[in-house]
Amino acid sequence: MPKQRLFTPGPVEVPQVALLAMARQVRHHRTPEFRATMGEVFEGLKYAFQTENDVLVLASSGTGAMEAAVVNLVPRASPLPKGEGGGRGKALVLESGKFSERWRLIAERFGIDVVRYELPWGEAFEAAEVDRLLKQHPDIVAVFSTLQETSTGVGHDIEAIGRVVRKSPALLVVDGISGVGAMECRTDAWGIDVLVVGAQKAMMTPPGLAFLAVSPPAWKQIESIERPAFYFDLLAYRKAAQAGETPYTPAIPLIEAIHESLRQIRSAGMETLWAKSRTLSQATLAGIAALGMKPVAKRPAEGLSAVYTPEGIDTKAFLARLEERFGIKLGGGQGPLKGKIFRIAQMGLIDEVDLLGCLAAIELVLLEMGQAVVLGSAVAAAGQVLAQRIG
Ligand SMILES: *Cc1c(COP(=O)(O)O)cnc(C)c1O
């Protein structure tokens, strides 16, 4: 059986120290020792998210934190008058892919009025259009956006979007579930009011934890509305976090794991991690271009690449062959891109050697499947990028 090599944009491989930390006996969470660990986790997350805002830890997958962001910020339809927890909130959703679509689906489920800025999958949002929609709908409470759209490999310009949202009364919410830790993300400097992050992507931790960073203006909004939530009522998380705790039993082994992964992240440094992912993603794109393949994204992300499978190649068979022959697991396509694309992650522990090996394996499998491939061409093109950028 080949060695497992995960190149999926979540879950990712986890550092050995984090795996070992999960193997220790379960500690009790209402103890000074565990509170000290939690305190370091909160600090580590603030560093990773580049924020001084409150950071909250939920025992859920990333989608749980997305739901928490929606229900805590935007009031749903209510018979009460506005100002008494009533009214009906309006949200702007920037939608172009499987995960940004989820913002809309959650908001609609809670009876929120959704203004959609929808683009075909693979395209990137324009700040000017966000500005126009905010002016057209001055009652929008929050803008829901995505840093790295994992289904299309697009990296959105959150910095530019932040500049226009900041001029309006609306709050900026960003799904950084797969992006944070790989792509540059400066929560405070870019004016992100609520950042949502997941454990199992660039944070290099097994799935089951989600994080939120919440700004003071976002807290003000949260305090002012009726929140249709109990487990996900963020005021309870804020209160507990002030005491170095979570309101309910935390996922203790996962906290032990993220504690170690955050130490690795801090010792590497965010700038270094961002530069590494950027270089690897550029090398990936150079490699696939050398094989005549095209990226899905008009504005490529830096923690994963989504690539159209060449004409005449069955995507399912291609992915299955990479896995059975080399143990390489790539992501497939979702929604309308299912069967048409594959996705390669560049986050977490994935390094230059991994990427060169992955490209070499792709060459071999394409050759085996009847494509005219010059062996070494993708590896050479990627190597050129690495030669220039990695010192
Ligand atoms: C993975 C992912 C999600 C969903 O996270 P889950 O942990 O599967 O709930 C949401 N948004 C983006 C951008 C993602 O990559």
pLDDT tens sequence across 163-201: 999 999 999 999 999 999 999 999 999 999 999 999 999
- CA 357, 360, 364, 370 dihedral sign is positive
Question: Can you give the pLDDT at residue 391?
Answer: 55
In words, the CATH class of domain 16-267 is alpha beta
Question: What's at 331, amino acid-wise?
Answer: G
Compute, in angstroms, the gap from residue 3 CA to the centroid of ligand 1.
26
Atom of ligand 1 nearest to the CA of 147: 13
Q: Whose CA is nearest to atom 5 of ligand 1?
A: 62
Whether 313 has a pLDDT exceeding 70, the answer reads yes
Question: Can you give the pLDDT at residue 272?
Answer: 97
Question: Can you give the pLDDT at residue 81?
Answer: 57
How far apart CA 374 and CA 10 sit, in angstroms, is 31
- The CA-based angle 129-179-133, given to 5 degrees, is 15
Question: Can you give the pLDDT at residue 84?
Answer: 56
Band (pLDDT 50/70/90 cuts) for residue 311 is very high
Question: Can you give the pLDDT at residue 87?
Answer: 58
> What DSSP designation does 89 have?
-
Compute, in angstroms, the gap from residue 178 CA to the centroid of ligand 1.
7
Band (pLDDT 50/70/90 cuts) for residue 1 is confident
Taking only the tens place, the pLDDT of each residue in 33-83 is 999 999 999 999 999 999 999 999 999 999 999 999 999 999 986 555 555
Q: Residue 295 region, left (φ>0) first, then alpha (ψ -120 to 50), else beta?
A: beta
Task: Please say whether the structural domain 5-10+270-389 has been given the CATH code 3.90.1150.10.
Answer: yes
Tokens of 383: 């190597």
Atom of ligand 1 nearest to the CA of 176: 13
Question: Can you give the pLDDT at residue 35?
Answer: 98
Q: Domain residue spans in the chain?
A: 5-10+270-389, 16-267
Atom of ligand 1 nearest to the CA of 99: 11
Whether 209 has a pLDDT exceeding 90, the answer reads yes
Q: Tell whether ligand 1 has an atom less than 6 A from the beta carbon of residue 99.
A: yes
Residue 149: strand pairing partners? 154
How far apart CA 17 and CA 40 sit, in angstroms, is 16
Whether 118 has a pLDDT exceeding 80, the answer reads yes
Residue 35 near residue 282 (C-beta atoms within 8 A) = no
Residue 53 near residue 213 (C-beta atoms within 8 A) = yes
Q: How far is CA 222 from CA 51, 57, 70, 164, 236, in A?
A: 19, 17, 10, 22, 11
The three state secondary structure string of 43-72 is HHHHHHHCCCCEEEEECCCHHHHHHHHHHH
Whether 91 has a pLDDT exceeding 60, the answer reads yes
- CA 26, 27, 29, 35 dihedral sign is negative
Q: Could you tell me the end-to-end alpha-carbon distance of the chain, in angstroms, rounded to an integer?
A: 35
Question: Can you give the pLDDT at residue 80?
Answer: 57
Q: What is the dihedral of CA 187, 195, 153, 103, to 10 degrees?
A: -150
Band (pLDDT 50/70/90 cuts) for residue 88 is confident
Question: Can you give the pLDDT at residue 389?
Answer: 77
